[in-house]
């Protein structure tokens, strides 16, 4: 190459590196902040979503003002408030009917000191899911009871059996059926689930075939759903967490989401912090996002960094997923991150006269991938060139 060509080539490389640096600078400037929100002081309650979910925040926080109320009491009180209020139709009775038009409930509660959990999944005909989960925690050596056996356990422990459907939930299901059962969660079946309600016959797949993995993804975009996931910190510093939901609307009967799964719907280690999650539960449980978030705290991340890291991990595999993560450390510092929607979370701590709702802009998958291309070696080279 001639001397003139060599100079031109180096100039082009220098210009390319400068543009890469400016692109990265622009991306970083528009990336959500990674610092944690300051702790308002203890006691403290934090949970997914604002709007009607703030009634749960207030109920749990006000209960904690009585020193005789424990962190686990507060979580039960808060989640039970949403169950009674049918928060956004996605918690408690009368919401999210399955294909058979039945509402079932999932819930989990966790003690941050012992790390013991109690949970119910696919709970039928009993409204008080979070309280039944607490009975599993305190009156069995198990972690999770499911279906009719969970119902039997609840009845044995004094809970009332009743129909969880309402006229509104039944009409919602019938309207879905009239619309050819769209959208739904069936894949790789005949007749085509995009146009038919079934009954369905499975199509045999070849797991060695090219493109097999792509066949495992949902064939239609079923709507995301909400969950209340809550972390409470007692004035003494003792922590607890819990989750309650009626799951995904029009789910296949028997489906269990991420809500009652330890480390997915919520998680707490009283020495470190806690986490609550909401979103595409079938995807999120593959990553145990709340377990990962708390481990991120243990490794020194701020709550905001811990939440963003978890969302980015999921987006690398599922860039179109909807998620919301709220994280709080043992001091009450907190942060959140989400994808696919504008996520909100609610927090109330010592001295606050009202619950604060914090809005979290979505993390963008393509932004993270693009910023990742600007490697440390490129930046070092650019610094040398400049």
Answer yes or no: do 189 and 234 share one domain: no
Neighbouring-strand partners of residue 46: 231, 347
Answer yes or no: do 360 and 283 share one domain: yes
Answer yes or no: do 126 and 181 share one domain: no
When pLDDT is averaged across residues 74-80 and rounded to a whole number, the result is: 98
At 226, is the pLDDT very low, low, confident or very high (cuts 50, 70, 90)?
Answer: confident
Answer yes or no: do 361 and 294 share one domain: yes
258 in a known ligand binding site = yes
Answer yes or no: do 51 and 123 share one domain: yes
Q: For the chain, how far is it from start to end, CA to CA, in angstroms?
A: 24
Q: Would the pLDDT of 337 be above 70?
A: yes
Answer yes or no: do 187 and 327 share one domain: no
375 in a known ligand binding site = no
Whole-number Å distance between alpha carbons of 330 and 315: 27
pLDDT of residue 217: 86
In a domain, 15, yes or no: no
Domain termination site, one of 177, 197, 216: 216
Determine which one of 227, 243, 245, 344 is catalytic.
227
As a whole number, the mean pLDDT across the chain is 88
In a domain, 137, yes or no: yes
Identify which of 83, 134, 124 has the alpha carbon closest to the alpha carbon of residue 242: 134
When pLDDT is averaged across residues 141-158 and rounded to a whole number, the result is: 98
Answer yes or no: do 237 and 203 share one domain: no
When pLDDT is averaged across residues 277-283 and rounded to a whole number, the result is: 96
Answer yes or no: do 292 and 339 share one domain: yes
In a domain, 110, yes or no: yes
Domain termination site, one of 196, 216, 236: 216
Whole-number Å distance between alpha carbons of 56 and 49: 10
In a domain, 385, yes or no: no
Answer yes or no: do 145 and 196 share one domain: no
In a domain, 289, yes or no: yes
Secondary structure of residue 266 in the 3-state scheme: strand
Q: Would the pLDDT of 367 be above 70?
A: no
In a domain, 73, yes or no: yes
Tell me whether the omega of the peptide bond preceding residue 147 falls within 30 degrees of 0, making it cis.
no
Please report which helix (H) or strand (E) contains residue 243, including its range. Answer: strand 239-245
Q: Would the pLDDT of 352 be above 50?
A: yes
Range of the domain at 193: 167-216
Angle value at C-alpha 343, between 249 and 329, nearest 5 degrees: 115
- 6 in Cβ contact with 14 (< 8 Å): no
Query: Residue 3 class from Cβ within 10 Å (0-12 exposed, 13-18 middle, 19+ buried)?
Result: exposed
Tokens of 139: 């009156």
Answer yes or no: do 119 and 257 share one domain: yes
In a domain, 34, yes or no: no
Q: Would the pLDDT of 362 be above 50?
A: yes
pLDDT higher at 373 or 275? 275
Q: Would the pLDDT of 151 be above 80?
A: yes
How many domains are there within the chain?
Answer: 2
Answer yes or no: do 196 and 96 share one domain: no
pLDDT of residue 34: 62
51 in a known ligand binding site = no
Among 4-18, 28-42, 203-217, 233-247, whose mean pLDDT is lowest? 4-18
At 219, is the pLDDT very low, low, confident or very high (cuts 50, 70, 90)?
Answer: low
* Range of 3-12, 31-40, 364-373 with top mean pLDDT: 31-40
Among 174-178, 187-191, 308-312, 364-368, whose mean pLDDT is lowest? 364-368
Domain termination site, one of 176, 193, 216: 216
Whole-number Å distance between alpha carbons of 56 and 354: 12
In a domain, 271, yes or no: yes
280 in a known ligand binding site = yes
255 in a known ligand binding site = yes
At 36, is the pLDDT very low, low, confident or very high (cuts 50, 70, 90)?
Answer: confident
Q: Is 227 marked active-site?
A: yes
Answer yes or no: do 91 and 135 share one domain: yes
256 in a known ligand binding site = yes
Question: pTM for the full model?
Answer: 0.86
Q: For position 246, which CATH number holds? A: 3.60.20.30
359 in a known ligand binding site = no
Per-residue pLDDT reduced to its tens digit, 110-142 = 999 999 999 999 999 999 999 999 999 999 999
């Amino acid at each position: 190459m001639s001397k003139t060509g060599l100079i031109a080539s180096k100039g082009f490389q220098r210009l390319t590196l400068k543009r890469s640096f400016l692109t990265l600078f622009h991306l970083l400037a528009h990336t959500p902040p990674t610092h944690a929100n300051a702790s308002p002081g203890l006691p403290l309650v934090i949970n997914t979503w604002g709007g009607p979910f703030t009634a749960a925040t207030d109920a749990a926080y006000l209960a904690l003002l009585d020193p005789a109320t424990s962190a686990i009491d507060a979580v039960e009180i808060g989640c039970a408030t949403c169950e009674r209020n049918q928060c956004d139709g996605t918690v408690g009775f009368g919401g999210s009917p399955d294909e058979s038009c039945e509402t079932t409930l999932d819930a989990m509660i966790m003690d941050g000191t012992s790390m013991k959990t109690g949970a119910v999944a696919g709970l039928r005909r009993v409204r008080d899911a979070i309280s039944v989960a607490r009975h599993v925690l305190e009156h069995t050596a198990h972690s999770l009871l499911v279906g009719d056996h969970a119902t039997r356990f609840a009845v044995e422990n004094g809970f009332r059996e009743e129909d969880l459907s309402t006229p509104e939930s039944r009409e919602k299901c019938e309207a879905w059926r009239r619309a050819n059962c769209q959208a739904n969660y069936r894949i790789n079946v005949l007749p085509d689930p995009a146009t038919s309600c079934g009954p369905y016959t499975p199509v045999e797949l070849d797991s060695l075939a090219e493109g097999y993995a792509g066949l495992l993804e949902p064939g239609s975009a079923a709507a995301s759903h909400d969950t209340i996931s809550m972390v409470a910190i007692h004035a003494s510093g003792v922590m607890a967490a819990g989750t309650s939901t009626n799951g995904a609307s029009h789910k296949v009967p028997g489906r269990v989401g991420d809500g009652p799964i330890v480390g997915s719907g919520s998680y707490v280690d009283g020495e470190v912090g806690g986490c609550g999650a909401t979103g595409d539960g079938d995807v999120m449980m593959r990553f145990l996002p709340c377990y990962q978030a708390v481990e991120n705290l243990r490794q020194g991340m701020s709550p905001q960094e811990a939440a963003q890291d978890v969302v980015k991990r999921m987006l690398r595999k599922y860039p179109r997923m909807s998620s919301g993560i709220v994280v709080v450390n043992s001091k009450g510092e907190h942060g959140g991150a989400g994808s696919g929607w504008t996520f909100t979370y609610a927090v109330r701590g010592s001295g606050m006269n009202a619950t604060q709702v914090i809005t979290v802009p979505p993390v963008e998958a393509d932004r993270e991938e693009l910023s990742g291309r600007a490697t440390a070696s490129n930046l070092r080279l650019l610094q040398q060139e400049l």
